[in-house]
Structure 1
């Protein structure tokens, strides 16, 4: 895989390498001159030659001239690109070069030609490399675009260029050069003619200028990320992970954690398994309304033991706007929208002395979690029982007795973290994180929730492992998300402030493959949720990526309930990518592999993968020194419930 770097950092140079293969001149090792006697102001290649000379990319010959009209051979260009992009010689030169009948390992430029061949930049013609043959203009179009991973580019305007004389294998790339403005030879590109050193310098200079421009505006189309996604591999990972439930603190979670870490290690990542305590509870709960007991209430995990009798107050879904007049009362809450922990905290802050929460679906009452420090008895009841209480409260005051007895049992859950750091010489000092959660609900296979997100984390880790970066990337899967974001909260709480200060974005993927999720919303229901309902860096990049990969724009909305929450809480731009509303088998034993859509997996992996790569790719500057594409892509807020 090509290790591409800014060509201003080239270790080799156009003129020095080309001249090394020349019989006429030898290169000059001195500093680049301010001018060449054969390059005049007003010459068509003056700007490119002088700009690259100033950067040390090109130099003149021993006689002081540049030789801008000298043609370049195929072997010379191979050597240029080999050195420019720091390619490595394949271990078995003869094996790689066996595709050619005119090059073997004894050739003077064997390693360079083998390097560009293995990288996919050159492939020869009719079984030959033709090392001494002049490279043509159409061939240059292909090799420089392949080298820069711009062999595909979505342009708002297709430039009209005559392609009749361009070979079919190069037509698309010549068209891209025209769309990018790298060539203005629209009526006659002279595809079959050799290219001069001056013209080659101009093309490189213009291409790098365009990459700068597009990268800074986050418009660069990352075909490399898109084309390398293997959705079948993602599907296979989901199949393995969903074979057994992965409830936090069980052998099923350990099995998943070991598998995920092993996959990261195969890719060469530095890995860490981060253990943290979780707590199960043996508990009994009683809820009594007057003289009537509600059937089989379920105590929240972590609920405080205690018995309290107080007036009952209905507060809807317990958003801050809904919670009022609960001091000294038991809060009756409807499940949905916010996490259990958030709901409990909102009423606790207002002085509630107990929590009774009823379901928002017909799937019983086995739910609920409080965190350490939320010292309040809390219990769950069914949807039917809760609605009856709401109706009673509409007509009269209701007194309730809540009695919870709890025994605390400590267990261990885990986060899996894989880190990839850039070359220290290129490191921006910033950090991007990409995550999913590997735990499932008790008894649930969790194919979509959230083996699907984990599969995308693993797939993007595989692709990024072979991609150039200048920013640290951490891929992670969290445990105990289903218990109230326990794993991600533990991870963020464990970070020193210096690490938090380096973090510029967190991308969270949760339930990204549900065949039946999304109803009739555009793009299969894909939406980007932020905690505060405001756009941020992650949604801006996501929308820009959608504009290039989909035919319809996706919205952003407001929702917590997933592992982007703790990152947002410490000031890191974060968003959740999910198909919403969720499918009917959400949190059910029927959340199985047969209900996974490969198309949706591909969709989200493309969007998140290319969005995050805009930050970490070497062509884009550190975010502190750059403006993100605010307003570049128009995307709208949508108030869409997730369930």
Structure 2
């Protein structure tokens, strides 16, 4: 047996009671003194053209091969390569990133931020309604199992309204299966209310014909085994229930939900004004189903390569890189980072840039449509930086919703301007996009999204190189100057959005 890695030891210490970075005496924010124009290092001031020119696809591809080999460390436990949090593949990923940064000659101050995370795994599930097994039925992420991990039996009971109040659940729900319409409140809230009403399981059905796959988010003792169901499959059932007919069901989920410890990695330039930081991040973990070389190996390795090449330059403003853990479980690492960030440190972050999935095989150059009207001021200026760069390269781009699907969410909800780029996940490429970007209309942008085939052959080198150069441009621009970029204000923190997002990570939450 190989000796435990430094990450295994760190997480073991955290599990033994050092649940916060302060208890491990690890700084949440790298501390350093301001420095201007790189005089102490004697290096040229960062220049966007030179930084972009230093980015080579060969280096990115070699890093991807390394990452896939690391994912193989999980085969003995999962039966296939993965870098999901809690796995040896993820511990190896953290070790790889930290060691690479540590080798850069003290250019960065490094910190580790352990935090508690929730890991859920569904081993087996089945839902029978009447005499049918609906094809669209899928267990919610972070669902508990059915009682004793055995099938449970009960009649479907139609819940009133959208199941967001205890009064919506009739007495007949006790001992039966709650049938709840999606909307207004989170899936987790519906599952909890169903559990409190005595239901043995819950089914949340869609308000349109599409399938419904989401997450219960933070576990509670009252959650019950919960499925999502398409509106198409739900329609005939609702008609029967409203006509007073009895519809019986069998629900079965064998699942595990457990708390583990995992770790964010933060690297900040030693030089540069620490009161004016440009921050960027990607996530270090994959889903359990595969090695995650595009999602988000491509983003996390882009950050690592840009961080490496930046060491050839000096900076005026500090640059802070972050590798988040637990993104695939619901943006856990980035949420935790912002949650424990003191107000004065929040104000030092001038903007946050999110880089998740940089090289989808059937790519489109996607820019989050982050406007100042709906987000902290500065988000639109960042968006326009991306648009201008693509236009200068003669490249097309398209907008995608800024809807909480990635790690920018906690930042914009706490008053920090944000934005980012991507190349597409499970969405369908349109005919217009086929004309704009090539590829195949009607197929997913990433046909291997959240699957075992998200390996080294699942990254488009053209898209990955182009977007890594754009990431380098975004870093160089703000590391040099924030001239013309909106100042942060405490008013922006106080006016941050309180509205629930449709997504929290890649899974629906309401």
Give the TM interval when normalised to the shorter protein.
0.5 to 0.7
2:467 to 604, 609, 620: 604
CA–CA distance in structure 1, aligned partners of residues 306 and 418 of structure 2: 18
Q: In 2, are the aligned partners of 1:428 and 1:470 still within 8 Å (CA)?
A: no
3-state SS of 1:258 partner: helix
- Give the match for residue 415 of structure 2: 571
Q: 1:447 to 1:367 in 2, by over 3 A?
A: farther
Does structure 1 retain, via aligned residues, the 8 Å contact 2:46–2:314? no
CA shift digits 1:341-379 (9 cap, x unpaired): x8425757998967535799xxx9997452145843242
Q: Deviations over 1:180-229 (max 9, x none)?
A: xxxxxxxxxxxxxxxxxxxxxxxxxxxxxxxxxxxxxxxxxx21232222
Instruction: Give the alignment of 1:51-450 within 5 angstroms.
Output: 88=42, 222-243=48-69, 244=71, 245-267=82-104, 268=106, 269-275=108-114, 276-280=116-120, 287=127, 289=129, 298=139, 300-301=141-142, 303=144, 311-312=157-158, 327-328=168-169, 330-333=179-182, 343-345=186-188, 347=190, 355-356=202-203, 368-373=215-220, 375-380=222-227, 387-393=232-238, 396-397=241-242, 408-423=257-272, 427=273, 429-450=275-296
1:258 is displaced (CA, Å) by 0.3
Residue 246 of structure 1 and its aligned partner are, at CA, apart by: 0.3
Give 1:485-564 correspondences, 5 Å limit: 485-517=331-363, 524-530=364-370, 534=374, 537-548=378-389, 549-551=392-394, 552-564=396-408
Secondary structure, counterpart of 1:555 in structure 2: strand
Alpha-carbon distance between aligned partners in 2 of 1:255 and 1:408, rounded to the nearest angstrom: 23
Instruction: Provide Cα deviations, 1:60-119, integer angstroms capped at 9, x if missing partner.
Output: xxxxxxxxxxxxxxxxxxxxxxxx97784xxxxxxxxxxxxxxxxxxxxxxxxxxxxxx7
Please state if 1:594 is matched with 2:457: yes
Higher relative contact order (CA 8 A, sep 6+): 2
CA contact (8 A) 2:448 2:458 kept: no
The 2-side partners of 1:348 and 1:569 are apart by: 25
Pick closer, same or farther for the CA change 1:498–1:485 going to 2, 3 Å.
same
> Is contact 2:355–2:422 with CA below 8 Å preserved after alignment?
yes
Distance 1:283 1:599 in 2: 37
Give 3-state SS (helix, strand or coil) of 2:421's partner: strand
What TM-score comes out, normalization by structure 1 length?
A: 0.52
Name the CA distance, whole Å, in 2 between partners of 1:238 and 1:250: 18
State how far apart, in whole Å, the 2-side matches of 1:391 and 1:471 are: 60
Per-residue CA deviations over 1:577-629 (Å, capped at 9, x if unaligned) read: 21133322111111122231122112222223322433221574785289xxx
User: 2:74 matched to which residue of 1?
Assistant: none
Question: Which structure features the higher share of strand residues?
Answer: 2
**Alignment partners' CA distance in 1, 2:315 and 2:182:** 47
- Root-mean-square deviation (CA, aligned residues, Å) is 4.4
Aligned residue among 445, 450, 453 for 2:299 = 453
Q: Deviations over 1:386-429 (max 9, x none)?
A: 74223432565386776778765333322222121435xxx261
Structure 2 equivalent of residue 92 of structure 1: none
